[in-house]
Structure formats: structure tokens, C-alpha cells
Amino acid sequence: MEKKLFNLLDRRSSHFEKCARATIERAFIFASEKHKGQKRYSGESFIIHPLNIAIMLAEKNFDSTTVISSLLHDTIEDTATTSDDIIKLFGYEIADIVQGVTKISSIPLKDKVLFFSDDEVYGERIENYRKLLIATGKDIRVMIIKLYDRLHNVQTLKYVPAERQLFYAKESIEIYAKIAERIGLNDVKVRIENEAFPFAYPDQYKKLMHSLETIPNYDPKIIQTKIAEIKRSLEMNKVDFLEVSGRLKHKLSIYNKLLHRHDFDLSRLYDLNAFRIIVSEVSECYRALGVIHSTFSPVPGRIFDFIANPKENGYRSLHTTLSDKDGRFFEVQIRTSEMHYICEFGMAAHWHYKDSLSGKYSHQLKLDLAEWNQEIKKIRELDDDGEALKYIRGEIFSEKIFVATPKGEIIKLPKGSTAIDFAFRIHTNLGLTCSGARVNSKIITLDTKLDNGDIVEVISSSRSKPSRDWLKLAKTEGARQKINQYLRGQNRDRFVAVGREVFLSYLKRYSLSLPDEHLCNSTIASSMIPYQDLNSALAAIGQKFFTPTKLVKAIFSYFSTEKKKSKTPKSAKLGKKILSNISYSYAKCCKPKQNDELTGYVTKNHILKIHRKDCKWLSHTDDSRIVDI
């Protein structure tokens, strides 16, 4: 396998300089030594995994830094290698990327049946998804390596224990493939989906495969015949093309179209066979379109100009659907080599041939990357895991529409958005006072879904205020958060009272008393919970957005509802006293030392917590549990 990598580097000698090739070889030797003796589920040596990722990246002409980092990406996580080791041998840039990939560590799935629709499982891994997305804001190459890492893992999914295959495959489709699509790595997206589909939805996969067997048009032989026809037509009309290629539509995409659009009627799919024409200039795209339309029969309403109106991820191309003399439908995409380059690599194109793109496309890539970073910033600012999850699923990965204000400002929204979403996207106050809207000069109801190209004017009134019904109308998580925030403010006192009652009852169960409120506020503000004071946390408990256990742990650092493993020495020396055969541990709140004046607190689990005598938390506990030691 290593020969394949180095032969590939030789063939790419114009891309990888000699010094880079030497460093890649050194990284491979280093990783091989570190992973020596480690095995994958398949029984192969572990080094096969980073080696395959490096080969895939090199084949796609990613820069040498990305290739080297991919070879080393598991060394910190799975071996005794440290970040300092990587810095000494390969430099800070590579160490930062490897460390970035390491931080996106997988949370164990455990041996249980997992369904992706289960919000508890989603929530269990939300911090992982958050890290995954935030990592791209620092260096998108971290994400690139992680996506290729996932691609190789799903390629060997058959070796993974059966109880983990289902969720892992669904997660690959619903999270990783969508990230790949969003940042423009369309090839990676398709390959991840193809590999994961049979494991994520086995029954649906079998049904689709059975249906495709009945369709004569779904045949690789037809692809080659049609490529020859298209080439002949372009040559006869002297169109300067660089490449003509074709493929069968990938299976998950077919399934989704059948499921959501055509009730599993394969006869209504126009793009089972798709072809791509690459030309050198934009003008040649439209010339080629004219020639193709004169050779085959174009299907009315099936011509799309993504050159004039690019997709959100920067995708540009002409799409047309045609039928041949035998009545078979197929799709043709026409684009320039630069458009194809961006289509294949999206934002990741910055780490290919950095100077190869024209100023126009290079500038657009920078704008796309800046917009992505704004979305990542929003995720970083969301403290609540549930809200972050909704934002990721509802906005970052959703299909988008483009609407306009009466002054011509373009506003991008998730598909299915309403005037309420539009109003809150313009300004919070406009959303809070929205009473109606005009779309294309016509009055609409607030539940009307907006379409691409709509011109939207919000009608506001000082007497209009959000109601709980608005939550059913709003599509965007941003609008829903602001509506919820307004509604919570209207009922805050009631929620605080309910939360306080729940919290005090919880404290009583564990023989704890509520400390001074000022002390609580300062402790909560410096803790990791997403609230700045006691009342805010109590209001969240009152609305069941937050649990009393988390608040107790924020205030009482030593608190635990579970029995913890404690030291059980035959004899322990503490100050001048000797404790024999007693389970004990040191309290974290006051950090006692042997020379301090000490006292003990017996927990409900019969574990002795050692405190300093002057520990302020002891004044808020049950005196009967305090013992001299």
C-alpha cells in the first residue's frame, strides 16, 4: 500500500516538491512505528487507515501539509505521541492540524440499539458535532481530513460490530455527508452516502436495488455509448471541449427523489444517467448547450442556469434534461474547468493549486469561506446544546431560498421559511412587531411559505406581539429563539418560582441548603453552565430547559448523585490523626492539605469527604454529618 502512495507522489512530482515528498515519507515511517501492533476491526494493521486517507488526498491534489497531517492524524489520540513530538519533527502548522483532528474525538456508541431520530443519542454527541464544525473556522484542513477519515471508515463498515453499524452509517449520511456538501466537497459527499446507504437503511436499499433491476436505462454500457454521441456532436460543431464524462446517478439520491417526489415511480426520474461537459470558457458553456439542444430533445422546464445564479456552496454549471431518439431521458451538466474545480473541492480549493483560480473565483471562495465562518461563530455562541443541535440541523444543513427586500437587499433563508423568519432576519424589533406581510405586492398570511425570488415587505404594528403559535410558523432557529426569549420574559417570575420550588426540594433530598444568593450568583457566573445568575437558572429549571442536578453541581463542586470510587487504604495519615479502613476523598471546594486544620463530612454514600475547617460550604450542609478527624 505504501508503494501506491509513493508511486502516486512520483506521478504528481509537479505538485509535490522533493522536500515535501521526503517529509511525507518521514511522516509515514513515524506513523508506522507509532501504530505498530495496532489492528483495525478488519484485522489489518492500523497504519492502513491513515495511509488510505493520505492516498485519497494526494489523488485529489491536496497540499503536502494536508497529506502529512493525515498520516499523523491518529498518533496523538491512539499512541503515546504528544503535540510537542509533532512540533519538533514536523513543525507547528502540522501539529496544529493533527491536534485539531484529535480534539474531534468520537464519543463511544456503547453496546445498545441506536436510532438516529432519538434526540438523546443526538444530544449525547452534540459536543462532538460542535467541535467538528468549529474546527473549520480555525483551519478547514482539519475538517477535510476528518471527512476523508469518515469516508475510509464507512468503506470498511462491514467489519464494525453490527450493533454500531446502524447509527454510524446514519450519522455519516446525516452529519458528515451534509458537511461535505456544505463546504463543497461534493465527491466526498456522494462517496460517503454510497458506502453508508446499505447499512443505514438496509430495507430501503434492497427495495431500490430490486426496482433498478427492472430499468434497462440504468446500465453502464449506455453511459459509454452516450458519451461517444455527445463528443461527436460537439466536434462536428467545433465546440472546444476539454472533457466529456458520464455516470449513473448514485443510489441514495435516487431513493430520496423517489421517496419525496415520485412515490417510487422510476419512470419519472429524468437523471438516472448524467453527463458532464467541461469547456475552457463561459461562452463555450452556452455554445455547447445550444449544440446539445439541437442534437437531442430538451425537456421543457428542465433547464437550469447555475452560472448566472450560483448555489449557496459556490456551485456553478448549466443543467439541462434531454431525451434521445429512443425516448430515454438523461441529464447534461456543462461547466468550465474552474467551475468544475470549485464543484469538486468547494472551500477546500484554497489548499490545492492556490494560484490557479482567476481573481473572480478566488474572491468568491473567500466570500463563501467568510459566510461559513459566520455560521460557525453562531454555533460557538450557542451555549445550550439543544439549541445548537437545532441550528445545525435546521439551518446549516437545510436547503436555502433567496428572497429580497423592497430595496433589493438579498436575504438567504432555509427552504420553508415564512414572513416571520424574514422579519426576524432583518431585525429583532421588526420580528417582534410583525403583524403581516406583502409578497410580490400581495397581502399574505404569516404561515405562507416564501419562494425563491419573492420580494417581501413586512407590515409592523406596535400592538402586535409574538404568541406561542408563532413557534409553529417559524422555520429558522434564530426566529424561534427570539420568540421563546420574548415569551420567557413575559412569564419569568412564574418560572423562577416554579424552578425555585423544584430546586429546594432537590436540595432537601440530599441534605443541602441554599447558600447566600450573592454567593450563588458569583459561583454560577464563573461556572460552565449557560446562565449568569441563580434566577436565570431557576427559570430554566421551571421551564424544564435545565436540570436541578446541573445547578447543584455548579454551586456545590463536590456534589455527586453517583457512588464514586474512593481511596480505601488500610491506613491513611491526615494531619495528626490516623484513619483506618475508611473510604475517603479530598473535597475539591477548599482543596485541603495535610498541614491544614481538617474536618470531615459523611456523604449519603458513606464516603468521608475531607474539608478544611474553615470551608465556607460546610455552613450550608447538615451539621449531623460533620465529624472530627
Residue written as cell 494536508? 66
Cell, residue 265: 415511480
Is 78 an annotated catalytic residue?
A: yes
Q: Let me know: does 609 contact 584? Beta carbons within 8 Å.
A: yes
| Alpha-carbon span 40 to 161, nearest angstrom | 12
The maximal CA–CA distance of the chain, rounded, in angstroms, is 100
Query: DSSP labels for 39-92?
Result: B-TTSSBTTHHHHHHHHHHHHTT--HHHHHHHHHTTHHHHSS--HHHHHHHH-H
Which listed residue (2, 77, 174, 344) is catalytic? 77
| Alpha-carbon span 211 to 500, nearest angstrom | 59
| Alpha-carbon span 170 to 159, nearest angstrom | 16
Q: Let me know: does 615 contact 595? Beta carbons within 8 Å.
A: no
Which listed residue (2, 25, 44, 78) is catalytic? 78
Cell, residue 55: 492516498
Query: DSSP labels for 345-411?
Result: HGGGGGGSSTT-S-HHHHHHHHHHHHHHHHHHHHHHH---HHHHHHHIIIIISS-EEEEE-TT--EE
Is 77 an annotated catalytic residue?
A: yes
Q: What contacts 24+ positions apart, CB below 8 Å, involve 284-290?
A: 284/239, 284/240, 284/241, 284/336, 285/318, 285/334, 285/335, 285/336, 286/318, 287/237, 287/239, 288/234, 288/239, 288/241, 288/334, 289/318, 289/320, 289/334
Please identify every residue annotated as catalytic.
Answer: 77-78
